[in-house]
Amino acid sequence: MLESAFKFPNQTAFYKGKVRDVYTIGDKWMVMFVSDRISAFDVVLPRPIPYKGQVLNQIAAIMLDATKDIVPNWVKSVPLPSATVGLKCETFPVEMVVRGNLTGHAWRTYKSGKRELCGVTMPDGMKENDYFASPIITPTTKAHEGHDEDISREEIIASGLVSREDYEKLEQYTLALFQRGRELAAKRGLILVDTKYEFGKIGDTIYLIDEIHTPDSSRFFYAEGYEGKQKAGEAQKQLSKEFVREWLMENGFQGKEGQQVPEMTDEFVASVTNRYIELFENITGQQFKKEDVSKDDQEKIILETLQKLG
């Protein structure tokens, strides 16, 4: 599915993100379709990746269910392979990025000589992919378009983006969710390296929203061989969509002005689908089953789900 095109009864809003199509129903429900679109460097690539939406939606459903004892989440029903129906929350305008290892953006910052990220001090003497002594939270602003921006805890509270009381709860939930994510990953022979969580609120209750612990929102290493690779200074074997970014960089694209997205051949698209299915099976321990539902049936199933929810 490249994009959805529905008009539901009592629909009050529609938002098309890089990957998700989100329908607001009245002032209570949201219907989220996870499309097969794929983005990298904040650019939506020209060709969809078959079954990618199903992979992300189903991993998120499994992981949200496995963490609902820590914090309530927005999900009420997962009626379709690529769609979820749940509560409409007032979204906090920050993403809670949590890092267990010095990788990605944190490593690039560190390698440049800086020792502070989002107000958090990183110790000297670390190598790429080393564990932090304890996980660090490096939040970003939530941008509807363009790049999310790094921001510190102090800036978030001082600017009034999130109240001190709520932000302290978000921190507690973030660390508890990350710990659970690490435990779940360890059972699968994986290391949850870094991830992001998004939260919303209804009344005084905070809810976990969007997706969690998917290869689009998280980075995983294989635990086997981790120590040896660190000692040898070798790159870690990882599970994430980093392989797509690497392919783009190898072909001269990093999302910068004037750069052209390289041609996505049928072979490359098929290989990405296969990698996402591999990701699903490694992260969940379940066999992936490709499911295709017609547009008419999708609409019918969503309408039935909304009627049941009332």
Q: Is the pLDDT of residue 102 over 90?
A: yes
Please report, as a single letter, which amino acid is at residue 41.
F
In angstroms, the CA 288 to CA 58 distance is 10
Overall average pLDDT of the 230-241 stretch: 88
Two tokens, residue 30? 């949201």
User: Cα-flanking dihedrals φ and ψ of residue 143, to 5°?
Assistant: -100, 130
Compute the mean pLDDT over every residue in the chain, rounded to the nearest whole number. 92
Instruction: Domain ranges for the chain, please list them.
Output: 11-90+263-309, 93-199+219-239
d(CA 145, CA 193): 26
CA distances from 34 to 58, 107, 209, 215 (A): 10, 30, 14, 14
pLDDT at 115: 96
pLDDT at 241: 77
pLDDT at 144 over 90: no
Residues contacting 23, CB < 8 A, separation 6+: 6, 8, 11, 13, 14, 30, 31, 32, 33
Is residue 218 within 8 Å of residue 240, measured between CB atoms?
yes
User: Domain 11-90+263-309 adopts which CATH fold?
Assistant: Phosphorylase Kinase; domain 1 (3.30.200)
Least confident stretch, 115-124, 141-150, 173-182, 241-250: 141-150
Q: Which residue has the tokens 């564990």?
A: 131
What class, spelled out in words, does domain 93-199+219-239 have in CATH?
alpha beta
Q: What is the pLDDT of residue 246?
A: 84
Among 1-10, 228-237, 271-280, top mean pLDDT goes to 228-237
Cα–Cα distance measured from residue 151 to residue 154, given in angstroms and rounded to the nearest whole number: 8
